């Protein structure tokens, strides 16, 4: 990126011994007590926390958009089918069974059956991303590959696991996925499964790519460059970008996030051992 996002880019220490990351508006993005003499060249811990939350919010918005689009499509297809069925019924030839008036038949015994009429509403499907044949097959295949998915980078090391992590002396971060250190900046980042690119966006100092695999979504954050575009169909192991700098500015790092629709899950059990 030509110019870094200025949010949380400055570190100051005030008289009370608190480190403050300054935002664009001049307001502190964090206000955490630390030792005045403690110096750090990278991002403040609170800024890491904010950036991960921004990433999570962006992904959730993309997933909700995909679900809504699938919902609209499913309802349109159902309405089109209903109209086609009504038209076919209307145009069907009337049934005219042959009758013999000279040989009247005895009336058939009738059984009175009480039928309670009720309005039955169409229930919404469990998932709008698991309706058509393509998504059903993709979802089944993704699930079948649990613990077999390739890692998004080669020779990476997990530095922050999924869920609550303590960063620094005072900050707890709820990591929405895995933070993976790479040997160097610029390492190739690859998709872990077949899918379609749902979104590409800038966040902080890097970029992120979200890929839809049926009802599963994977996101690759903190990329320095991106080599795919929205709507691109990708295959397992295909390069989608390159890793950006880590939070301390000393090496490479990516964030890898897995969601089942709007629910975050720990990616680690899904990756190849």
- Domain CATH for 50: 2.70.70.10
- Where does 88-215 show beta strands of DSSP type E? 157-160, 163-167, 171-175, 178-182, 188-190, 195-203, 206-213
* pLDDT above 80: residue 181: yes
Q: Does residue 76 belong to any structural domain of this protein?
A: no
Unique residue bearing structure tokens 């958009």: 65
5: pLDDT strictly greater than 60 = no
Rounded to two decimals, what is the model's pTM? Answer: 0.72
Span 119-125, mean pLDDT? 62
Confidence of residue 77 (pLDDT cuts 50, 70, 90): confident
- The listed range with the strongest mean pLDDT (35-49, 171-185, 255-269) is 255-269
Number of domains the chain is built from: 1
Residues 6+ apart with CB under 8 A from 147: 269, 270, 271, 272, 273
Q: Is 84 exposed, middle or buried (0-12, 13-18, 19+ CB in 10 A)?
A: exposed
The answer on pLDDT for 102 being more than 90 is no
Residue 231 lies in a domain: yes
Phi, psi of 181 (to 5 degrees): -80, 145
- Residue 12, pLDDT above cutoff 50: no
Has residue 99 been placed in a domain? Answer: no
Is the pLDDT reported for residue 198 higher than 50? Answer: yes
| Residue 46 forms part of a structural domain | yes
Of 15-24, 122-131, 208-217, 220-229, the least confident? 15-24
For residue 254, give its domain range.
Answer: 10-68+143-270
pLDDT of residue 87: 84
Q: Which of 47-51, 68-72, 216-220 has the lowest mean pLDDT?
A: 47-51
115 occurs within a structural domain: no
Q: What is the pLDDT of residue 167?
A: 77
Q: What is the average pLDDT across 230-235?
A: 97
Residue 235 lies in a domain: yes
Helix (H) or strand (E) holding 218: strand 216-226
Is 120 inside any structural domain? no
Say whether pLDDT at 106 is over 90: no
pLDDT above 90 covers a percentage of the chain that reads 48
User: Is 85 part of a structural domain of the chain?
Assistant: no
**Nearest-angstrom CA–CA distance, 248 and 208:** 19
Average pLDDT over residues 138-161: 96
pLDDT band at 214 (very low <50, low <70, confident <90, very high): very high
- Rounded CA separation 255/151 (Å): 12
**Rounded percentage of the chain residues whose pLDDT exceeds 70:** 73
């Amino acid at each position: 990126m030509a110019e870094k996002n200025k949010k949380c880019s400055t570190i100051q220490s005030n008289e009370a011994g608190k480190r403050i990351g300054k935002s664009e508006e001049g307001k502190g993005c964090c206000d955490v007590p630390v030792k005045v003499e403690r110096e750090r060249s990278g991002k403040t811990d609170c800024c890491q926390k904010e950036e991960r939350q921004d990433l999570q919010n962006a992904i959730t918005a993309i997933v909700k958009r995909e679900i809504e689009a699938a919902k609209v499509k499913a309802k349109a297809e159902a309405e089109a089918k209903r109209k086609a069925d009504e038209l076919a019924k209307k145009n069907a030839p009337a049934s005219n069974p042959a009758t013999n008036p000279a040989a009247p038949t005895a009336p058939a015994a009738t059984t009175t059956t009480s039928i309670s009429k009720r309005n039955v509403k169409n229930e919404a499907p469990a998932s709008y991303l698991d309706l058509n044949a393509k998504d059903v097959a993709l979802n089944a295949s993704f699930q079948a590959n649990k613990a077999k998915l390739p890692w998004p980078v080669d020779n990476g090391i997990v530095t922050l696991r999924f869920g609550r992590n303590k960063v620094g002396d005072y900050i707890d971060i709820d990591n929405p996925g895995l933070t993976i250190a790479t040997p160097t900046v610029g390492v190739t980042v690859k998709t872990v499964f077949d899918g379609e690119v749902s979104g590409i966006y800038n966040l902080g100092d890097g970029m992120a790519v979200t890929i839809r695999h049926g009802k599963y979504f994977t996101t690759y954050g903190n990329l320095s460059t991106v080599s795919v575009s929205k709507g691109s169909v990708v295959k397992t192991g295909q390069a989608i970008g390159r890793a950006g700098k880590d939070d301390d500015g000393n090496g490479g790092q990516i964030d890898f996030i897995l969601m089942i629709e709007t629910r975050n899950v720990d990616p680690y059990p899904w990756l190849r051992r």
